[in-house]
Amino acid sequence: MWQTAIIVAAAVILEVVQLHQSKAQSQDAIRFRGGAKHPKTPPLPSVTITPTELTEYHRDGFVLKKGLLQGEELSKLMDSAEEIYATANHQKDANLPNFFKKLTFDLWRRKDEFAQLAFENLPSVAAEFLGVGDAYEMINNEDNNNNAHEKEETIRILKDGFFGFQQKNNTGCGFHVDDKIFWPASYETTGVNFWIALSPMRIQEGGGIRVVNQSKVEPIFEECRQAITNVGERGYSPTCDMEEVSPECHEKMLEASVVFDMEPGDALIWDRWTFHRSEPFRPVPEGERSEEHQCDDPSAGADGDDYRLRYTIRYVPGKAKAWGRHHPSQVTGETFDSPYYPQVWPSVLKSEMKSIQKGLED
């Protein structure tokens, strides 16, 4: 998203902050379901994706999946999210502009509950959206030994991100497709993003996410992508500033987009090239506030710190090539081959899991 020079510099500071945290935390190895040291392979399917949902995804660039996460799994993630929101302090330390109050990456290798989500719950779902063959056929088909083919049929974690979006001080990010910081893979490769609500999100209150129906913006896609990618006089890409750099694109995106009421655990699943933006908060008159955000709601504290939490995790096919701001262990322009971008489908790799268990340094 944000490619300003300031942000790039700030992000470096941010990573130093994270370095200290991760060193402290990497003592405790990630543990999976049942306390196992490795995720069960092949990962178990967690939810059913219908043919209609797949059709919608391919036509519109996104699909809303209600209740993707539920039960204890979800409540653990929500508790963890509240803790991260309360304790992480990245933006302030890094002096970032006020897009989001809390932003942190790499939870999949820092926290058990996010690791379970990233390695166990979602890979089989990602496989369906990325169309990497019939999941179950693959697992059962031992003859599938053609290397080139195999490469096509793997999936890796590209990146995750936790966002705390605060009503008072934050602007969020305008319509954009992810830039080279948030999507460090080459342009020609595809991918799928799971955007998961960890707070209730109400259309009338704002604070959620808006996605653009890609079937309606095909003719202007490239022009609008260029508008927020071209560096121009500023010296940086105005990833979050479409409204300012191209009011026309902004208007058209607004017309072609939708926003949903979402419960914690609901997910928007979208394609790597789907435009989206943070939905600004709206002042809601006292009497019309939804129940979960009445004054006894923890997300609307006494200081008026009303906020919405979300987690996003992005997966790419094994043939995706690294590009942009990726980890130094990975060669630019080559297919991903680093525990920082671990294979999760059809199985994890022992060597990568070993490195992850040891605790990856930043």
CB of 268 to ligand NAG, least distance (A): 10
Sole window of 46-54, 178-186, 209-217, 266-274 interacting with ligand NAG (rule: CB under 6 A): 209-217
Do 301 and 186 touch, CB atoms closer than 8 A?
A: no
Q: 279 and 208 in contact (C-beta within 8 Å)?
A: yes
Task: Name the minimum Å distance from CB 177 to ligand NAG.
Answer: 17
Residues 41-100 that bind ligand NAG (CB under 6 A): 60
165 or 323: CB nearest ligand NAG: 165
Cα distance from N-terminal residue to C-terminal residue, the chain: 21
C-beta of residue 345 within 8 angstroms of C-beta of residue 98: no
Question: Among 219, 304, 328, 333, which residue interacts with ligand NAG (rule: CB under 6 A)?
Answer: 304
- DSSP assignment of 225-257 equals HHHHH--GGGTSB-TT-HHHH-HHHHHHHHHTE
Least distance in angstroms from the C-beta of 166 to ligand NAG: 6
Q: How far apart are CA 83 and CA 71, in angstroms?
A: 19
DSSP string, 10-63: HHHHHHHHHHHHHHHHTTS----GGG-SS--SSPPP-S---HHHHHHHHHHSEE
Cβ closest to ligand NAG, residue 33 vs residue 216:
216
Among 6, 9, 44, 258, binds ligand NAG (CB under 6 A): 258
* CA neighbor of 83 nearest in space, from 172, 164, 174, 169: 164
- DSSP letter for 340, please: T
Closest CB to ligand NAG among 102 and 110? Answer: 102
CA 93 to chain centre: 22
Between 215 and 254, how does the x/- string for binding to ligand NAG read (CB under 6 A)?
Answer: xx--------------------------------------
Q: Which is nearer to ligand NAG, 115 or 256 (CB)?
A: 256
What's the 3-state SS for 8-25?
HHHHHHHHHHHHHHHHHH
CB of 170 to ligand NAG, least distance (A): 9
> Contact 320/191 with Cβ under 8 angstroms?
yes
In the list 26, 41, 104, 213, the residue contacting ligand NAG (rule: CB under 6 A) is: 213
User: Does 274 sit near ligand NAG (CB under 6 A)?
Assistant: no
Question: Smallest gap, in angstroms, from Cβ of residue 256 to ligand NAG?
Answer: 8
**Cβ closer to ligand NAG: 304 or 333?**
304
At a CB cut-off of 8 Å and minimum separation 6, what does 290 contact? 200, 202, 204, 205
* Smallest separation, CB 280 to ligand NAG (Å): 16
Nearest to ligand NAG of 289, 327 (CB atom): 289
Closest CA to 21 of 78, 86, 100, 104: 104
Q: 60 vs 120, which CB is nearer to ligand NAG?
A: 60
Residue closer to ligand NAG, measured from CB, 274 or 343: 274
Residue 36: CA atoms inside 13 Å, Cβ hemisphere, count?
Answer: 12
Q: Please tell me the count of residues contacting ligand NAG according to CB under 6 A.
A: 10
The one among 37, 168, 234, 358 contacting ligand NAG by CB under 6 A? 168
* Closer residue to ligand NAG (CB): 6 or 36: 6
Short-list 168, 182, 196, 170, CA closest to 278: 170
Q: Which residues bind ligand NAG (CB under 6 A)?
A: 60, 168-169, 213, 215-216, 258, 303-305
